[in-house]
Amino acid sequence: MSGRRISPPRTLARGIPMTVWMLLLVVIPLGYTFVTSFFQVDGLQIAARPTLKNYALFFTDPMYPGILLKSMLISLAIAVIAILAGYPLAYMVSFRVSRGRQVLFMLSIIPLWVSYLVRIIAWRTILGNKGVINSALEAAGIIREPLSFLLYNRFAIAVTLTYICIPFVFIPVYTALEKIPRNLLEASSDLGAGELRTFTSVVLPLSLPGLVTGFIFAFIIALGDYIIPQQLGGTQGIMFGNLIWSQFGFAFNWPFGAALSFILLAITVTILRLTSRFGSTEGGFLGE
């Protein structure tokens, strides 16, 4: 083991950049936010007088937990749909295609290289009153009035966030599928399993870690987003991310915003803990 021979001081030295990075960008800001969440606001000033008022406000006004719950449900739906769309795509690229596999892989992740805002505006162009869908339907004579349920509501948020999340599902699922030794599929077939049973008994369980990772990615991305609800959500489409953002942006109530952030963080971390434990017990077998 070459790693063991390195003397302790040098090992420490190696860890310094990472430690500094984590301190500066993660630990200190989070710590600051956490402390702020127990402060109060005096006019437009943050007063360093400790209080639990911010957390109490969240739990006493039913609006806040309500929005959080709705956001979680939408995010859950988005994550599920992203899995339903991304998994078959990854499966196809990994198992069914031999020629042009690289091209398909690139096509699947290329959306990640396009600016986030550009993609949001693109969806507005697709879903809007004079957008691609409405114009096409009108031209075909199927509708007279543009369909108004397409944009500025939760539907638009869900569609766009799902689209944003698909590559984040695709990548871990594809990686997990690629790791499955192909002779396991042959063995399964050889032992009497048709294609469907090979999928349910061998492929799906072995790709579960990737699926769980993809699900977590999609769920967390959806839950934390505030730009898409703002741009495409209209009046009813407020999500928890918007709530946090507005406390920092308009309301100048940083302590309350910080408290909301920490509530979201606590939920996210809990979900991560639960699912990653699930994912790793299954995923441990893929180590070799």
Partner 1 sequence: MPSRAGTGDGPKARQGTPKPSFSPRARRARGHPFQSSEHMAEEHAIELQGVKKSWGDVVAVRGFDVQIRRGEFFSLLGPSGCGKTTTLRMIAGLEEPTDGRVLLEGRDVSRVPPYRRNVHTVFQDYALFPHMTVRKNIWFPLKMRGVSLAGAEERIQRVLRLVSMEGYERRLPQQLSGGQRQRVALARSLVDEPAALLLDEPLGALDFKLRGAMQKVLKDIQRNVGITFIYVTHDQTEALTMSDRIAVMRGGVVHQVGTPDEIYGRPATAFVASFIGEMNFLRGRLEAPEGTAARARVGGLEVRAGRSTVPPGTEGRDVLVCVRTERVRLNAQRHTDHEMDGTVRRIVYRGTDYEVTCSLEGQEMRAVVSAMDWDSTLSVGAPARLCFNGGDVTLFPGSEAGEIVQYTTEAV
* Residues of the shown chain interacting with partner 1 in the complex, contacts defined by CB under 8 A: 181, 183-184, 186-194, 197, 201-202, 205-206, 282, 285-288
For partner 1, give the closer residue by CB, 13 or 184: 184
Shortest Cβ distance from residue 206 to partner 1 (Å)? 6
For partner 1, give the closer residue by CB, 169 or 176: 176
Angle of helix 254-283 relative to helix 63-91, nearest 10 degrees, comes to 30
* Integer Cα distance of 266 and 72 in angstroms: 13
Shortest Cβ distance from residue 172 to partner 1 (Å)? 17
Exposure class string for 146-179: b at 16+ Cβ within 10 A, else e? beeebbbbbebbbbbbbbbbbbbbbbbbbbbbeb
For partner 1, give the closer residue by CB, 7 or 183: 183
* Integer Cα distance of 227 and 225 in angstroms: 6
Shortest Cβ distance from residue 287 to partner 1 (Å)? 8
* Integer Cα distance of 125 and 132 in angstroms: 7
For partner 1, give the closer residue by CB, 61 or 186: 186
Residue 133's identity, in one-letter code, is I
Shortest Cβ distance from residue 181 to partner 1 (Å)? 7
Shortest Cβ distance from residue 243 to partner 1 (Å)? 39
For partner 1, give the closer residue by CB, 94 or 230: 94
Backbone angles phi, psi at 269, to 5 degrees: -65, -40
Cα-based angle 242, 64, 79 (whole degrees, multiple of 5): 60
* Integer Cα distance of 89 and 83 in angstroms: 10
Shortest Cβ distance from residue 280 to partner 1 (Å)? 13
Region of 123 (left: φ > 0; alpha: ψ -120 to 50; beta: rest) is alpha
Shortest Cβ distance from residue 98 to partner 1 (Å)? 13
For partner 1, give the closer residue by CB, 101 or 197: 197
Six-digit token string for 175: 């990686």
Query: Residue 46: which H helix or E strand, with range?
Result: strand 45-47
For partner 1, give the closer residue by CB, 114 or 191: 191
Cα-based angle 98, 83, 267 (whole degrees, multiple of 5): 140
Residue 159's identity, in one-letter code, is V
